């Protein structure tokens, strides 16, 4: 297939100046800011060491590039180029300067309902677009959702398609991956489909409103055991002032049975989400 995103060998330094310090670090590499020499525009580059990356992960990286190339949505990070030289792979994408949703939650402890709904609406629009194109993300969490800039009202962008997959809607998946707090119970126990992303979004929604995760524990094993049981509560003080509409949406996203769990489109149509995010203007 022809593509606007070219694969180039050993030429990143010809086109880009890489800047320090790293913006973020991951399992197999780091993300740095870079300047496109021809236009002077700043972008981000995810750099992955070939020597430190097992073959399976290298294949996954190419999958990430292929998927990013296909996706074109305002709430999904855009890819510009993919380079490689003897030592590294480089994925050049648009730069987000506003930081992770994760850090914003830590900073503000929790969001009010309006801000939560507007945040979730953007995330679900990205997820709905992915699912309509038969792409599942599989690692949705606040560390992988970035603010485009520091300006008020900055768009959110979903990043890190390193665990994503172009799936066949008629074939269930079985690879166990994700992050303990956010992973869906069916991913841990049996075959699963794209609804695993909705569970993770339900966890994000819960955290945004109260500031702590619905399934918690002292270690990953304990957290995942609680995910498998799937019981969560709105008992803490933090939930006292939160509307029934918000709680009801969480319950429909953290539904253990994926066939009964809402789809991304269903979440976008939810009355609380529409009303609280200001999309639906209700006559009084
Ligand atoms: P990993 O697979 O290692 O988790 P990510 O793609 O999630 O890699 O990137 C790691 C971190 O780097 C992110 O959580 C974020 O903080 C930062 N980052 C990633 N992409 C960008 C970007 N386009 N702009 C700014 N920061 C980014
Ligand atoms: Mg990540």
The pair of three-digit structure tokens given for residue 8, joined into one six-digit string = 């180039």
Between 9 and 172, residue with greater pLDDT: 172
pLDDT of residue 24: 86
pLDDT of residue 248: 98
pLDDT of residue 11: 82
pLDDT of residue 4: 52
Ligand 1 pocket member 140 (CB < 6 A)? no
Q: Consult the annotation and say whether 8 binds a ligand.
A: no
Report angle CA 68, 100, 114 to the nearest 5 degrees. Answer: 105
- Whether the per-residue pLDDT at 272 is higher than 80: the answer is yes
pLDDT of residue 213: 98
pLDDT confidence tier of residue 56, bands split at 50, 70 and 90 = confident
Give the pLDDT mean for 194-210: 98
Of the listed ranges 3-12, 21-30, 190-199, the least confidently predicted one is: 3-12
Residues facing 44 on adjacent strands? 33, 93
Residue where the block lists tokens 């992960």: 57
Give the pLDDT mean for 231-245: 96
Count CB-CB contacts under 10 A for residue 177.
Answer: 14
Closest to 204 in 3D by CA, of 144, 277, 263? 144
pLDDT of residue 26: 75
Ligand 2 centre and the CA of 179: distance in Å? 10
Give the pLDDT mean for 11-36: 90
The residues, any chain, with a CB within 8 Å of residue 7's CB and separated by 6 or more, are 82, 83, 84
Residue where the block lists tokens 């989400």: 273
Between 284 and 183, residue with greater pLDDT: 183
- Length in residues, the chain: 284
pLDDT confidence tier of residue 178, bands split at 50, 70 and 90 = very high
Cα(166)–Cα(60) distance, rounded to whole angstroms? 12
State the ligand closest to the CA atom of 139. 2
Give the pLDDT mean for 151-179: 96
Mean per-residue pLDDT over the chain, rounded: 93
pLDDT of residue 172: 97
* Residue 207, H or E segment: helix 196-210
Q: What is the pLDDT of residues 91-144, one digit of tens each?
A: 999 999 999 999 999 999 999 999 999 999 999 999 999 999 999 999 999 999
The pair of three-digit structure tokens given for residue 161, joined into one six-digit string = 């398609």
Between 161 and 25, residue with greater pLDDT: 161
Q: What is the bridge-based pairing of β-strands 156-158 and 145-147?
A: antiparallel
Cα(135)–Cα(222) distance, rounded to whole angstroms? 30
Q: What is the pLDDT of residues 213-225, one digit of tens each?
A: 999 999 999 999 9
Give the pLDDT mean for 183-201: 97
pLDDT of residue 80: 96
The residues, any chain, with a CB within 8 Å of residue 139's CB and separated by 6 or more, are 160, 162, 163, 164, 177, 178, 179, 182, 200
Residue nearest to atom 7 of ligand 1 (CA): 160
Give the pLDDT mean for 8-15: 80
Cα(153)–Cα(155) distance, rounded to whole angstroms? 6
Computed from CA positions of residues 241, 244, 249, 255, in that sequence, does the dihedral angle turn out positive or negative? positive
Rg (CA), the chain: 19
pLDDT confidence tier of residue 190, bands split at 50, 70 and 90 = confident
Ligand 1 pocket member 93 (CB < 6 A)? yes
The residues, any chain, with a CB within 8 Å of residue 195's CB and separated by 6 or more, are 184, 186, 258, 259, 261, 263
Pocket test for ligand 1, best of 67, 71, 146 (most atoms within 8 A of CB): 146
- What percentage of residues in the chain have a pLDDT greater than 70? 95
- What percentage of residues in the chain have a pLDDT greater than 90? 84
């Amino acid at each position: 297939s022809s593509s606007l995103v070219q694969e180039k060998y050993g030429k990143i330094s010809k086109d880009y100046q890489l800047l320090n310090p790293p913006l973020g670090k991951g399992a197999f590499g780091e993300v740095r800011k870079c300047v496109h020499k021809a236009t002077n525009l700043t972008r981000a580059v995810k750099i992955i060491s070939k020597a430190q990356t097992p073959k399976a992960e290298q294949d996954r990286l190419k999958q990430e590039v292929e998927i990013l190339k296909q996706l074109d949505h305002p709430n999904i990070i855009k890819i510009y180029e993919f380079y490689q030289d003897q030592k590294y792979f480089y994925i050049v994408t648009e730069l987000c300067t506003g930081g992770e949703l994760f850090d914003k939650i830590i900073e503000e402890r929790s969001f009010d309902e309006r801000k939560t709904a507007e945040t979730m609406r953007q995330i679900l629009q990205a997820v709905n677009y992915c699912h309509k194109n038969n792409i599942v993300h599989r690692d949705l969490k606040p560390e992988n959702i970035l603010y485009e800039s520091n300006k008020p009202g900055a768009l959110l962008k979903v990043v890190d398609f390193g665990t994503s997959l172009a799936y066949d809607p008629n074939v269930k998946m079985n690879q166990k991956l994700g992050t303990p707090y956010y992973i869906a119970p069916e991913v841990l126990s049996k075959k699963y489909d794209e609804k695993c992303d909705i569970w993770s979004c339900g966890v994000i929604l819960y955290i945004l409103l109260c500031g702590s995760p619905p399934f918690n524990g002292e270690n990953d094993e304990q957290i995942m055991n609680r995910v498998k049981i799937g019981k969560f509560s709105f008992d803490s003080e933090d939930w006292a002032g939160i509307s029934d509409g918000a709680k009801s949406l969480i319950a429909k996203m953290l539904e253990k049975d994926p066939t009964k769990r809402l789809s991304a489109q269903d979440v976008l149509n939810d009355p609380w989400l529409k009303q609280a995010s200001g999309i639906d203007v209700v006559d009084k």
